[in-house]
Amino acid sequence: MGEFELIRQFFAAAPCARAGGEVVLGIGDDCALLDVPAGHQLAISTDTLVAGVHFPEQPDPFLLGQRVLAVAASDLAAMGATPIGFTLALTLPNVDPEWLRLFAEGLNRMAESCALRLIGGDTTRGPLSLTVSVLGRVPAGRALTRSGAEVGDLLCVGGPLGDAAGALPLVLGQRQADAQLADPLLARYWAPQPQLALGQALLGRATAALDISDGLLADAGHIAKASRVAINVQRDALPLSAALLAFAGLPGARACALAGGDDYVLLFSLPAAEFSALLAEGWPVTVIGNVSEGQGVYLLDEQGRPLDVDRRGYEHF
């Protein structure tokens, strides 16, 4: 199968590749063409996943298709952006039609659940690697950045932490568990749900936001630095799932929540009154700390005493 037939069959013909909405022209020309509605800015983010680094060497292609788009779309959620479309740069060691069919199915599943249209890409031969760029729109000047956290704000997360990191020994085949425990954890690793609706609900409310990809403490550090504040995390307030607690125990679950990566849950700061409003609207948000004067990230015990923190999340270099 040639490059063009591959693109046509698996990507251009996918339901998520239909033009519409802001996408005036999709796959097939030299560029895609997008309308950006008046009063909006374009939000763009790129993520690369490499076999053996970001996922096992022989991944399930359906799950990989879901995951590569989910991790990219999560950046749109973190800015409060409304999804428009995405491009896919695919490097493949060989052309395996069954593998591609399943990969495209997983990709399409996540694309439809995120309302993202596939608008183009590139296809090359080499060691398996995937690059997705996502595009969204946000009302001009209102995107959620990392730099606006204010002293006195609450620090919140949009859901349980550490599940994906807890699933890693399962993903790598180092540990086994009953499906009852393993399935919910593996789902959080392979198919994280980008918190797009929550991100949009935070517009005009959150003072700073990001999506947790490198671990809570490391990512909280990005907000602290950009906002020039201290961030205090209450160890006992971390939301932990029942599956993670049963699989890893309390100390293990806490370690996953604090330093494990791959959560793709929103972390944000906001005034207390805004938090009450979010709760009243039914958003699954939890207060895990606050913002104070100073610099850096502090982990506190139930008496408010600082705890030592050794691992600060995953850094590639």
User: Is 210 one of the binding residues for ligand ADP (CB under 6 A)?
Assistant: no
Q: How far apart are CA 215 and CA 256, in angstroms?
A: 8
What does 97 interact with, of ligand ADP, Mg ion, none (CB < 5 to 8 A by kind)?
A: none
Q: How far apart are CA 94 and CA 59, in angstroms?
A: 15
Q: How far apart are CA 189 and CA 168, in angstroms?
A: 8
Residue nearest to Mg ion as judged by C-beta position:
122
The least CB distance from residue 216 to Mg ion, in Å, is 39
Site for ligand ADP (CB under 6 A): which residue of 5, 24, 28, 127?
A: 28
Site for ligand ADP (CB under 6 A): which residue of 81, 90, 248, 265?
A: 90
Q: How far apart are CA 91 and CA 74, in angstroms?
A: 22
User: Is 113 one of the binding residues for ligand ADP (CB under 6 A)?
Assistant: no
Sign of torsion over alpha carbons 222, 223, 227, 230: negative
What does 11 interact with, of Mg ion, ligand ADP, none (CB < 5 to 8 A by kind)?
A: ligand ADP
Q: How far apart are CA 317 and CA 313, in angstroms?
A: 12
Site for ligand ADP (CB under 6 A): how many residues? Answer: 13
Q: Which is nearer to Mg ion, 35 or 122 (CB)?
A: 122
Site for ligand ADP (CB under 6 A): which residue of 16, 64, 88, 253?
A: 88
Site for ligand ADP (CB under 6 A): which residue of 59, 106, 120, 199?
A: 120
Three-class SS of residue 254?
A: helix
Q: Which is nearer to Mg ion, 10 or 62 (CB)?
A: 10
The least CB distance from residue 31 to ligand ADP, in Å, is 8
260, 170 Cβ separation under 8 angstroms: no
User: Is 123 one of the binding residues for ligand ADP (CB under 6 A)?
Assistant: yes
Binding mask 119-148 for Mg ion (x = CB under 5 A): ---x--------------------------
Neighbours of 117 (CB within 10 A): 26
Q: Which residues contact 68 (CB under 8 A, 6 or more apart)?
A: 47, 49, 88, 107, 130, 132
Distances (CA, A) of 196 to 50, 77, 138, 189: 25, 4, 12, 18
| Contacting positions for Mg ion (CB under 5 A) | 122
| Contacting positions for ligand ADP (CB under 6 A) | 7, 11, 27-30, 88, 90, 118, 120-123
